[in-house]
Structure 1
């Protein structure tokens, strides 16, 4: 082999090694991102009662979204005191929502929402024992999500409900308050906290917004799609942007952010639930309970 051939061969091997290293780095980054998303939200993990009353948990796999058409005229981006950079998905056309009964998880079923959402709803007010939170809604971009929440609120589904999950960056790398499990005890002991729903699911919409501080979104299990239910979360830090988009964003907090940020400053303010059957979802409830008194829309 001539000197030029040897040099060409060495260059080729060097290039192949470099490409191999780049592929490994990309796979590692993708796996890390997937892992962080899977541990970010634990709502809606399927729980099946088997003989003897034993609970067997299985994480939902990615599914095709439930059929849902959420089309309407575009609107301006909702604003908040935290001023996250969010822009609702612009859609046009008639609005029809589809909700599918789901009995494979613990649930409190109060009926299915209607197919025609009220497109005039602009604000969601959550009154809790710790203070009041007002959310500017993105109704034009997430009509079916807001239609579901409004329906459940009218049924008093959320009244006197404990928010089952509060996490801080030092505990899990993200910062959020999660509510909407009608069966949660939020006592650090209940093994199925974070699994309860309203007994139905619906499709994805308005999923292109990152989870900046103040953003309110519906939660799903891991990489699930089209499995939105009664549970929602409020992002309490811009650190959550690392998760990227993919969740149904319904709006942005415009009042009450300071109260929310004061709920917990570190892991010492949380109840670690070692009995949680999924190792996620209800693992960290607030030591001082956050109880929803009412949710109203206007």
Structure 2
């Protein structure tokens, strides 16, 4: 005759077996890394959720980790925010509009409308070494124009890359000048420059190792946050690719091996244990 202790052991064993099976299923699904972005600010992974802040930024204080594939709708704004216009090739101008989200920002002004489309490269001088990026000025002129402006204003100087993904989501996100990257600051990933601009270069966009792309919270919400991919990602073409790393990817490989700090969004991403601080950003007039 089974005793109460026998029953407890049986239940514990069944619970453990169910947990083990779920872990195996999660690992199998992670390998597929099928990620879907939504304008509600959620990145859905088949079988799990990546917090929206993993690839977005720009001051949405309501952005949170999701617990289901269908987020609760937010209250509609009292008036529609201005929508930035795409690059005007005829006049060579960009449109930068005020960030109506009202999130934390480091305001240094607004970039000039006229974009310089000559070839350029960007050097991120970080605490771990230099990362050099060949910029896609011809395909993402407004994005490059914004980065050139922010670099000149020393906007990125002293900022910390606040989010790194695991092997299944190999990216490092930077560009929030207010991030503490300590695993404790709830507003990491919300900082921006106080303006937004349109998406670019999305047709046939690929997110492979070395690609540098803009983080966003939906169409036309680019600010200053960006991510560097040190593996291969399967993402929808929603994030403006504006450059390719030509030097320094081994830095990200090394940092990734150290892992991330606890206190992330519960999706395996978090502030890197090995801090990556951007000392300065310089943009030269040649690729």
> Does the pair score TM above 0.5?
yes
Residue-pair matches, total = 227
What is the distance in 1 between the residues matched to 2:267 and 2:178? 13
**CA contact 2:215–2:226 (8 Å) conserved in 1:** yes
Q: Which residue is 1:262 aligned to?
A: 254
Mapping 1:123-162, distance limit 5 Å: 123-162=121-160
Task: Report the structure number with the largest CA radius of gyration.
Answer: 1
Match of 2:262 among 260, 263, 272: 272
1:42 aligns with 2:36: no
The answer for unaligned runs of 5 or more in structure 2 is 1-31, 38-43, 63-72
Deviation at 1:262, TM superposition (A): 1.3
What secondary structure is seen at the aligned counterpart in 1 of 2:125? Answer: strand
**CA contact 1:194–1:282 (8 Å) conserved in 2:** no
| Greater per-residue helix proportion | 1
What secondary structure is seen at the aligned counterpart in 1 of 2:130? Answer: strand
1:184 aligns with 2:179: yes
**CA contact 1:65–1:226 (8 Å) conserved in 2:** no
Deviation at 1:259, TM superposition (A): 1.6
What secondary structure is seen at the aligned counterpart in 1 of 2:61? Answer: strand
Q: Which residue is 2:210 aligned to?
A: 214
**CA contact 2:115–2:142 (8 Å) conserved in 1:** yes
Match of 1:95 among 83, 92, 97: 92
Mapping 1:1-298, distance limit 5 Å: 33-34=36-37, 35-36=44-45, 39=52, 40-44=54-58, 46-47=60-61, 66-70=83-87, 72=89, 93-103=90-100, 104-169=102-167, 173-208=168-203, 209-221=205-217, 224-238=218-232, 240=233, 242-265=234-257, 269-274=259-264, 279=265, 284-298=270-284
Deviation at 1:186, TM superposition (A): 0.2
Q: Deviations 1:67-91 (Å, cap 9, x if unpaired)?
A: 333255xxxxxxxxxxxxxxxxxxx
What is the distance in 2 between the residues matched to 1:273 and 1:129? 23
What is the distance in 1 between the residues matched to 2:99 and 2:115? 21
Deviation at 1:45, TM superposition (A): 5.4
What is the distance in 1 between the residues matched to 2:267 and 2:197? 20
**CA contact 1:121–1:297 (8 Å) conserved in 2:** no
Supply the RMSD in Å over aligned alpha carbons.
2.9
What is the distance in 2 between the residues matched to 1:107 and 1:161? 13
Q: 1:41 to 1:60 in 2, by over 3 A?
A: farther
